[in-house]
């Protein structure tokens, strides 16, 4: 419902990155596989494509975990940057595994199906940062 010219944000990625930054890499990897499996089952797509993409994204988001900087990572614009990186990787791998079009080029996969959804998801994640900043000041 909020797609712009077939580019849609991945709300699940925002939640995945939030929990990976809060609880660590192993938690993010496991949660990514669960979210991906549920997404595959609900969407009716190729079973395992979203699971693989979200597992990798949760693993990468977990790299940014630091138990001393949990609140800093979640309540600053660094969170938006992490969402951008993981969402771009997620979109790229998901389309790479689930697309049946043979004529896709590498530039199309990276730019239109990787970076643009990543930017859109990152913009949608800004309210999470604002909400956490307000919660931090209370």
Where along the chain do its domains lie? Answer: 11-130
The pLDDT value given to residue 21: 95
Instruction: Answer yes or no: pTM beyond 0.85.
Output: yes
d(CA 40, CA 63): 25
Structure tokens at 56: 């990798």
Give Cα separations from 46 to 7, 11, 96, 97, 99 (angstroms). Answer: 19, 20, 12, 8, 9
Per-residue pLDDT tens digits for 25-35: 999 999 999 99
- Compute the average pLDDT of residues 3-25: 88
pLDDT in tens, 119-129: 999 999 999 89
- What is the DSSP secondary structure assignment for residue 7, as one 8-state letter? B
- Length of the chain (residues): 138
């Amino acid at each position: 419902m909020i797609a712009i010219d077939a580019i849609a944000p991945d709300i699940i990625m925002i939640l995945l990155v939030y929990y990976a930054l809060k609880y660590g890499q192993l938690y993010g990897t496991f949660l990514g596989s669960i979210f991906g499996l549920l997404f595959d089952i609900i969407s009716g797509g190729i079973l395992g494509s979203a699971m693989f993409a979200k597992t990798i994204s949760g693993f990468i988001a977990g790299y940014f975990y630091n138990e001393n900087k949990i609140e800093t990572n979640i309540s600053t614009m660094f969170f938006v940057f992490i969402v951008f990186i993981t969402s771009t990787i997620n979109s790229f791998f998901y389309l790479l595994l689930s697309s049946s079009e043979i004529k896709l080029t590498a530039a199309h996969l990276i730019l239109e199906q990787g970076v643009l959804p990543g930017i859109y998801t990152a913009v949608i994640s800004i309210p999470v940062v604002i909400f956490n900043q307000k919660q931090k000041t209370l």
